[in-house]
Structure 1
Amino acid sequence: MEPIIEVKNVMKTYKKRKSKEYIQAVNDVSFTVNRGEILGLLGPNGAGKTSTIKMICGLLIPDSGSITINGLNNQKKRLESLRHISAVLEGNRNLYWRLTVRENLEYFAGNRGASRKEVLERVEDLLVKFHLKDKETELVNRLSRGMQQKLAIAVAMLADSDVILLDEPTLGLDVETGYEVRELLTSIAEQDNRTIIISTHDMDVVQNLCERTVIINNGQIVTDDKVANLMRLFEVRSYTISLGGLLSGKQQQLLLQKFPDYHYEEDTIVSTLEVDLAKSEEIYDLFDVLKMEGTPVEAIDRKTINFEQIFMEIVKGGNKHAMVQSS
């Protein structure tokens, strides 16, 4: 795939306030963003993610390394390169709060040199697409957070940039509005052929939208891989089994030998057994142990893993899963 953004060996150091000590916020970070993909750029607080985002947007200058946007170095050809990227940073800072929804869209569309007719057509299209038509005369400071967020993304769309960078696009939104924003982002990527970079703590957004994720921790990249690959890599065969009777001492001893991390809770009505299987065929060994005493099985549930669990495992594991590159 053709890269549209290339981050190469970027470093950023900050001096601590009232101290001679320096902090290495970003340490030799390199990754690419491919044209037309939705990339999740993730990291815990203080990991270097925000500094990386600001350097891509041209708000911070790297100490060393380079960032190119559509083949243009964003330091040497700053204005020309940044025309290819628009950003919606947390806090909706790309909106004028004392203007209405329509006035914001018309203002930013007019700023880009479009004719009056083109402005009206584009604004009307975005009002409908983002379900803002019934709010077009409402002042921005009177809108809900969800409506403000949708408007901020619509304003970013006016730039017709190749890349849209979204910082926490669903933060603070209710479930329904968050789902609507995710649908809009999918539509933008598919229909408008935009490249989208999402920085978020909402792991449902990553799991549902992003094709690939780059995770930064302690100033370095610890994982760069497709989300689907990571889901397979961390897949577990964990079962919770409700039993209609108690396990004997012999059964528990056999379980300990075969599944040393198993968990068992006794109850007068239904006992619970939790087991992690390294291989799918080990389920037969488990049932052999239950069968030997004729222990009744009331229910079997398989635990499903989500991307939030994967993210936490990667961050806790440091460089254990570092640089699992996508093909």
Structure 2
Amino acid sequence: MEYVIDIQNLKKSYKKRKSNELIEAVKGISLQVKKGEVVGLLGPNGAGKTTTIKMMCGLLLPNEGTVTINGIDMIKHRLKALRHISTVLEGNRNLYWRLTVRENMEYFSGNRGLSKKEISARIDELLERLNLTEKANEMVNSLSRGMQQKLSIAVAILANTEIIFLDEPTLGLDVEISYEIRKLLKEIAQEYNKTILLSSHDMPVVQEICERVVIINEGRIVTDDSVSNLLSLFDTKAYSFTVGSTLSLKDRETIEQQFIVQTEMNESGQSIVTVTIQHSDDFYKVIEIFKERNIVIEKVDRSIIDFEQVFMKIVKGETGHEVAVSV
């Protein structure tokens, strides 16, 4: 099978400032992405995500390994490979601040060989879609960070490349703008069949948009699997029982013989007993234990795991889940 992104044994080291000590940022990463896939690239700060993306975009040369974009070797034929990708990098100026919104869209499209006539209608459509029509003739340096980020993504879409790299597209944005960008990215993935590689700490973005997740930690891939598989890996259910009085040590020990239990006190002096279960039938076993111990249940709440919890468990090594490569 031919992949639109194929990186093999990618390694990158830096010399530490004011010393000759080498810092290994990326320690042999291999990754393959098919056409139309939307892949989340995750990891804690310093894990090597941005360094990996920069090598994939030809902005950094690896010490070892290969990067192939649409069958083209990025290291040997960089300019040819770059024709197939668009990139929005976090913390970088992806736009010219002394040009207007429309001028930026026209300028970067022109760099791709597209004329104003060819893209005029497309620009109008994107401006309206991103709620930027009223800002079309404003200088970019006067826009909010959220509007600048939306414009950066619009410029990437206008390039009409098969592959889009996005590094932290919602970082530092307010809830409303973050939602707009999530909605836009989801539409791009569904409507245009683009291959998207998304690096983000924003777990709702990953859970809503990505089909597959690659988690990097300490310069290596620790997990490569579908979002649904990773969520099912931790498909435990937790129920919080608010009981009428303080839970005794003996009561707690009885429950702990069968289940994982956490207890805390609320402001009213009642015990909140959180019980983690693996199977739906276990819920009734917990109820039976409470009944046998004459513990009065005042309230029951359900807690469902989300992708942020999954991510933290994997990074902390709280699972024996081995790397599963999706192909």
TM over 0.5: yes
Gaps of 5+ in 1: none
How far residue 267 of structure 1 moved from its aligned partner, in angstroms, is 7.6
How far residue 111 of structure 1 moved from its aligned partner, in angstroms, is 2.8
Evaluate the alpha carbon distance shift between residue 274 and residue 174 of structure 1 in structure 2; reply closer, same or farther with a 3 A threshold.
same
The answer to whether the aligner puts 1:30 opposite 2:40 as a matched pair is no
Deviation string, structure 1 residues 249-287 (Cα, Å, up to 9, x no partner): 653342232236442548866432111123332223211
> Bigger shift: 117-126 or 71-80?
117-126
Evaluate the alpha carbon distance shift between residue 291 and residue 8 of structure 1 in structure 2; reply closer, same or farther with a 3 A threshold.
same
Hey, what's the Cα distance between the residues in 2 that align with 1:320 and 1:259? 20
- Specify the SS of the correspondent of 1:138: coil
Aligned to 2:242: 242
Aligned positions of 1:165-176 closer than 5 A: 165-176=165-176
- Specify the SS of the correspondent of 2:304: coil
8 Å contact from structure 2 (residues 261, 273) kept in 1:
no
Aligned to 2:198: 198
Aligned positions of 1:178-193 closer than 5 A: 178-193=178-193
Question: CA RMSD of the aligned region, Å?
Answer: 2.1
Hey, what's the Cα distance between the residues in 2 that align with 1:113 and 1:324? 40
| Amino acid in the other structure paired with 1:83 | R
8 Å contact from structure 2 (residues 259, 276) kept in 1:
yes
> Bigger shift: 244-253 or 173-182?
244-253
How far residue 71 of structure 1 moved from its aligned partner, in angstroms, is 0.8
The answer to whether the aligner puts 1:16 opposite 2:13 as a matched pair is no
8 Å contact from structure 1 (residues 92, 148) kept in 2:
no
Aligned to 1:144: 144
Aligned positions of 1:37-56 closer than 5 A: 37-56=37-56
Hey, what's the Cα distance between the residues in 2 that align with 1:313 and 1:305? 11
8 Å contact from structure 2 (residues 101, 135) kept in 1:
yes
The answer to whether the aligner puts 1:299 opposite 2:318 as a matched pair is no
Deviation string, structure 1 residues 141-185 (Cα, Å, up to 9, x no partner): 111111111111111112111111111111111111110001111
Evaluate the alpha carbon distance shift between residue 245 and residue 165 of structure 1 in structure 2; reply closer, same or farther with a 3 A threshold.
same
Aligned positions of 1:160-309 closer than 5 A: 160-247=160-247, 250-259=250-259, 261-263=261-263, 265=265, 270-309=270-309
Work out the number of aligned pairs and report it: 327
Aligned positions of 1:100-115 closer than 5 A: 100-115=100-115
How far residue 326 of structure 1 moved from its aligned partner, in angstroms, is 3.1
> Bigger shift: 56-65 or 107-116?
107-116
Q: What's the TM-score, normalizing by structure 1? A: 0.93
> Bigger shift: 223-232 or 290-299?
290-299
- Specify the SS of the correspondent of 1:81: helix
Evaluate the alpha carbon distance shift between residue 72 and residue 237 of structure 1 in structure 2; reply closer, same or farther with a 3 A threshold.
same
- Specify the SS of the correspondent of 1:258: coil
8 Å contact from structure 2 (residues 106, 116) kept in 1:
no
| Amino acid in the other structure paired with 2:62 | P
Hey, what's the Cα distance between the residues in 1 that align with 2:115 and 2:248? 81
How far residue 92 of structure 1 moved from its aligned partner, in angstroms, is 5.2
Deviation string, structure 1 residues 221-273 (Cα, Å, up to 9, x no partner): 00001111111101222110012345456533422322364425488664321
The answer to whether the aligner puts 1:66 opposite 2:66 as a matched pair is yes
How far residue 201 of structure 1 moved from its aligned partner, in angstroms, is 1.1
Evaluate the alpha carbon distance shift between residue 61 and residue 320 of structure 1 in structure 2; reply closer, same or farther with a 3 A threshold.
farther
How far residue 21 of structure 1 moved from its aligned partner, in angstroms, is 1.8
Evaluate the alpha carbon distance shift between residue 128 and residue 254 of structure 1 in structure 2; reply closer, same or farther with a 3 A threshold.
same
- Specify the SS of the correspondent of 1:3: coil
How far residue 17 of structure 1 moved from its aligned partner, in angstroms, is 2.2
Aligned to 2:124: 124
Evaluate the alpha carbon distance shift between residue 22 and residue 91 of structure 1 in structure 2; reply closer, same or farther with a 3 A threshold.
closer
8 Å contact from structure 1 (residues 12, 24) kept in 2:
yes
Evaluate the alpha carbon distance shift between residue 323 and residue 250 of structure 1 in structure 2; reply closer, same or farther with a 3 A threshold.
closer
How far residue 131 of structure 1 moved from its aligned partner, in angstroms, is 2.0
8 Å contact from structure 2 (residues 238, 275) kept in 1:
yes
> Bigger shift: 200-209 or 288-297?
288-297
Deviation string, structure 1 residues 71-124 (Cα, Å, up to 9, x no partner): 111011111111111101113522111111111112222333333421322322
| Amino acid in the other structure paired with 2:244 | G
8 Å contact from structure 2 (residues 146, 177) kept in 1:
yes
> Bigger shift: 60-69 or 105-114?
105-114
How far residue 321 of structure 1 moved from its aligned partner, in angstroms, is 2.8
How far residue 10 of structure 1 moved from its aligned partner, in angstroms, is 0.9
8 Å contact from structure 2 (residues 40, 210) kept in 1:
yes
> Bigger shift: 256-265 or 158-167?
256-265
8 Å contact from structure 1 (residues 217, 318) kept in 2:
no
Percent identity over the alignment is: 54
Evaluate the alpha carbon distance shift between residue 267 and residue 151 of structure 1 in structure 2; reply closer, same or farther with a 3 A threshold.
closer
